[in-house]
Structure 1
Amino acid sequence: MGGLLVSIGAAVGEEVWLRLGVMTILVWIFLRSIGHQKVSPVVGWSAIVVSALAFAAMHLPQLASYGAANGVGIAATMMGNTLVGVLFGALYWRRSLIAAMLAHFAVDLMLHVLPALGT
């Protein structure tokens, strides 16, 4: 039950902070710096990638708490979380914040909740 609640909290909290917060602010900063008002694909994807990298970096302290903060662990955590961060960012940009939250919840459910049910 705890894993389910953590998954819900992460899906909502991290998507609000990273997509609605960081990604939206990055788009605004990028647009202001180039003097445009319309979001181009370059601006949108740049914000998605930068926010995905921030999302991945947020997971490094958890990795360290498990004593797995070595080169392979850091690289795997950064790559995996950046990839899903890009997916969540694309869903936010193209669909909605709710779509990103649902995708995040589904990933967390598969990674954290379902394996625990088998034990």
Structure 2
Amino acid sequence: MGDIFYGGISEEVMMRWGLMSFVAWMGWRFFQHRKNRPKPWIMWLSILISSLLFGVAHLGANTVLAPLTWFIFFRMMLLNGIAGIAFGWLFWKRSLEAAMMAHATVHIVITMMVWLKAMV
């Protein structure tokens, strides 16, 4: 049960609050240091970079579950990238808590699907 909330809390703190915020701050600092807030392109770039690294961070977990092939790698990057973009957008537009709740909800749904599959 702890694994369900681990991603929702720890990964979002590391990826969104830590990495995404840092990349956005660097872009803001270097490209528009006299503005009150970063432009949307800086935020989208920080979302994409953090989402790419979010996908790569799941490499270890995926290699435990299945042998690493190009298909598995592509699928991992695609699914985690889409989720990372959604969580990054939520962090940007709403809050860290919104990204955490969305991430935990995804883990809950996946866990329920695995349980249901095991029952059949």
Normalised to the residue count of structure 2, the TM-score between the two structures is 0.90
Which stretch of structure 1 is more off in the superposition, 71-80 or 57-66?
57-66
AA in 2 matched with 1:65: V
Indicate the SS of the match to 1:65.
helix
State the partner residue of 1:117. Answer: 115
Indicate the SS of the match to 1:69.
coil
State the partner residue of 1:32. Answer: 29
- Deviation sequence 1:72-103 (CA, Å, 0-9, x none): 00000001100000000000000000000000
Unaligned runs of 5+ in 2: none
Unaligned runs of 5+ in 1: none
Query: Aligned-pair distance for 1:116?
Result: 3.6
AA in 2 matched with 1:52: S
Does residue 18 (structure 1) correspond to residue 15 (structure 2)? The answer is yes
Query: Aligned-pair distance for 1:32?
Result: 1.6
State the partner residue of 1:79. Answer: 78
Quote the Cα distance in structure 2 between the aligned partners of 1:16 and 1:115: 26
AA in 1 matched with 2:97: I
Q: Percent identity?
A: 29
Quote the Cα distance in structure 1 between the aligned partners of 2:41 and 2:107: 29
Normalised to the residue count of structure 1, the TM-score between the two structures is 0.91
Query: Aligned-pair distance for 1:31?
Result: 1.2
Query: Aligned-pair distance for 1:68?
Result: 2.5
Across the two proteins, how many residue pairs are aligned to each other?
115
Query: Aligned-pair distance for 1:10?
Result: 1.3
Within a 5 Å distance, the mapping from 1:32-111 to structure 2 comes to: 32-36=29-33, 37=35, 38-111=37-110
Quote the Cα distance in structure 2 between the aligned partners of 1:16 and 1:82: 17
Quote the Cα distance in structure 1 between the aligned partners of 2:16 and 2:10: 10
